[in-house]
Chain A
Amino acid sequence: MWKWLHPYAKPERSYQLASTLLPWFTISSIIVLIIGVVWALAFAPVDIYQKDYYRIIYIHVPAATLSMSVYMAMASATFIGMVWQLKLSDAAAAAMAPIGATLTTIALVTGAIWGAPSWGTSWVWDARLTSYLILLFIYLGIIALQNAFEDKVLASRAAGILTIVGAVNIPIIKYSVEWWNTLHQGATISKFEQPSMGDDMLYPLLINLFGFALMIAALSIVRFRNEVLARDSMRPWVKELVAKECK
């Protein structure tokens, strides 16, 4: 496997790979999201108790679930960067941080909008919501630390340590609904034997989840390319690339 991966430690090759992958992820995410969103908002059955406003979960659930996945991806990337000293891995982690922060904000806002009619309150200080708010703070801290250093390589290393320390929070968020008796409901779709949700409602949610994942991949690739270019801006291959573009 190392022999196959080795060429991609070179920024140039990674940049090319990212450029080839980008259109695939972009197109597929747009298609999947259109199918998912239209199905969810227009054709999924109306909930008896919650009427139409339950449909916001089709945005809330993917954003919330995947914001944690993005964090784990970041933590894995920084871990790989630390152990094998791969600078590109740090670049990938730096590229993902703002995406994760945005998803976390989306999940918090949509959750508040959904909570207002169904719980009767937009915000409660229960374990799930609080630990999730901490996740947003950690994301913001990581971004702030990345911006505080002049040297990008150094910034990534420092932010990496914070990322790995902050990863402690992820299992707390995941299991908060089981460990504490919270207002937030427990896991709904991951109970595969018998999801507590009808099929007509479940399928668009799963499609949206998949579409969000593809969209995050596409956005990460865009940001990763920028990050690589910014870090290597003085290298000959970037200069050649710019010269080619300008012609």
Chain B
Amino acid sequence: MNQPTSYAQTFYNVFKRDMQVAVRNKGDVINPLIFLIIVITLFPLGIGPETAVLTRIAPGIIWVAALLAALLSLERLFKSDFVDGSLEQMLLSPQPLFIMVFAKITAHWLLTGVPIIIIAPLLAMMLHMEQSAYPALLITLLLGTPILSLIGAIGVALTVGIKKGGVLLSLLILPMYIPVLIFATGAIEAASVNVPYSGHVAIMAALLIGALTLAPLATSAALRVSTN
């Protein structure tokens, strides 16, 4: 046991644990997805089923719904670990917190971001989105959902110690999500009228890289504050 655990091993251990917890509490993973589908269903019912209107607003609806679904699933990231004390053990362990936070965020993305990406073409079809916009939708979701998990982690870490953190979390996080939303929907709209959208995608990739490097650091700092 004196052998120190390598970074890769630490990452793998935390990652595996989170995946196992999620597999055993299937509701936590599936409920946000059902929420996403219901929200998407509400729009055609509320606005009216005209194909032209739905085609026009499809990218926005899908992205806003994805944003809200990500927000709903975020609490799961640290809350239960905070309640049962395992978060504190992680903070006390000699392994760098960055790696563990990163592993937790990766697991979170695989459990909430990837299902959204998989189900997105189906939702796009339901909303009569332009055929040419499908690749753009998938690319922006692929680049954008990790950003949602990464930035969201900062907010969850800040509010984990507060009793009614849910509403506060959305206040803190949604403004930070706006740039992602703007560039994602911009790319999809450009694609649907057959205009090159590589500029939007490049900015989203830059946002992702920035978030990947900085968000786990901010999350670790925030965890240390709120578990004081």
Among candidates B154, B162, B222, residue contacting A148 with C-beta atoms closer than 8 Å: B162
B225 proximal to A (CB < 8 A): yes
Residues on B with C-beta less than 8 A from A30 are none
Give Cα A166–Cα B228 distance, bound, in whole angstroms: 23
Contact between A137 and B218 (Cβ–Cβ < 8 Å)?
no
Residues of A in contact with B, size category: 20 to 34
Q: Which B residues between 182 and 228 are near A, CB-CB below 8 angstroms?
A: 182, 218, 221-222, 225-226, 228
A130 proximal to B (CB < 8 A): yes
Residues on A with C-beta less than 8 A from B83 are none
Which residue of the partner chain A has the closest CB to B157? A161
The smallest beta-carbon distance between A41 and chain B, in angstroms, is: 35
Majority secondary structure, B binding face: helix
A126-152 contact mask (Cβ, 8 Å, vs B): 1 or 0 = 000010001001101100110011010
Contact between A130 and B154 (Cβ–Cβ < 8 Å)?
no
B158 proximal to A (CB < 8 A): yes
B178 proximal to A (CB < 8 A): yes
Among candidates A130, A144, A157, A158, residue contacting B171 with C-beta atoms closer than 8 Å: A144
The smallest beta-carbon distance between A160 and chain B, in angstroms, is: 8
Which residue of the partner chain A has the closest CB to B172? A141
Given contacts A157-B225, A158-B225, A161-B221, contact A145 B174 (CB under 8 A): no
Contact between B175 and A138 (Cβ–Cβ < 8 Å)?
yes
Which residue of the partner chain A has the closest CB to B207? A168
Give Cα A83–Cα B102 distance, bound, in whole angstroms: 24
Contact between A158 and B168 (Cβ–Cβ < 8 Å)?
no
Residues on B with C-beta less than 8 A from A138 are 175-176
Residues on A with C-beta less than 8 A from B176 are 138, 165-166
Residues on A with C-beta less than 8 A from B154 are 161-162, 165
Give Cα A145–Cα B226 distance, bound, in whole angstroms: 11
Most chain B CB inside 10 Å of its own CB: which residue of A137, A144, A161 = A161
Which residue of the partner chain A has the closest CB to B219? A161
A154 proximal to B (CB < 8 A): yes
Residues on B with C-beta less than 8 A from A141 are 171-172, 175
Contact between A158 and B226 (Cβ–Cβ < 8 Å)?
yes
B44 proximal to A (CB < 8 A): no
The smallest beta-carbon distance between A86 and chain B, in angstroms, is: 16
Which residue of the partner chain A has the closest CB to B228? A154
Contact between B175 and A130 (Cβ–Cβ < 8 Å)?
no
Give Cα A161–Cα B175 distance, bound, in whole angstroms: 15
Give Cα A165–Cα B155 distance, bound, in whole angstroms: 10
B121 proximal to A (CB < 8 A): no
Contact between B158 and A145 (Cβ–Cβ < 8 Å)?
yes
Give Cα A170–Cα B202 distance, bound, in whole angstroms: 21
Most chain B CB inside 10 Å of its own CB: which residue of A134, A148, A151, A166 = A148
Residues on A with C-beta less than 8 A from B159 are 145, 148
Contact between B225 and A145 (Cβ–Cβ < 8 Å)?
no
Give Cα A195–Cα B166 distance, bound, in whole angstroms: 48
Give Cα A138–Cα B179 distance, bound, in whole angstroms: 13
B148-184 contact mask (Cβ, 8 Å, vs A): 1 or 0 = 0000001000110110010010011011101100100
Contact between A161 and B178 (Cβ–Cβ < 8 Å)?
no
> Interface on A for B, CB 8 Å cutoff?
130, 134, 137-138, 140-141, 144-145, 148-149, 151, 154, 157-158, 161-162, 164-166, 172
A144-B168, A161-B154 are known; give 8 further A-B pairs, CB within 8 A: A141-B171, A144-B171, A144-B172, A154-B228, A158-B225, A158-B226, A165-B176, A166-B176
Q: List 25 A-B contacts (CB under 8 A).
A: A130-B178, A134-B178, A137-B171, A137-B174, A140-B171, A141-B171, A144-B168, A145-B158, A148-B162, A148-B165, A149-B161, A151-B228, A154-B226, A154-B228, A157-B225, A161-B154, A161-B218, A161-B225, A162-B154, A162-B158, A164-B218, A165-B176, A165-B218, A166-B175, A172-B179
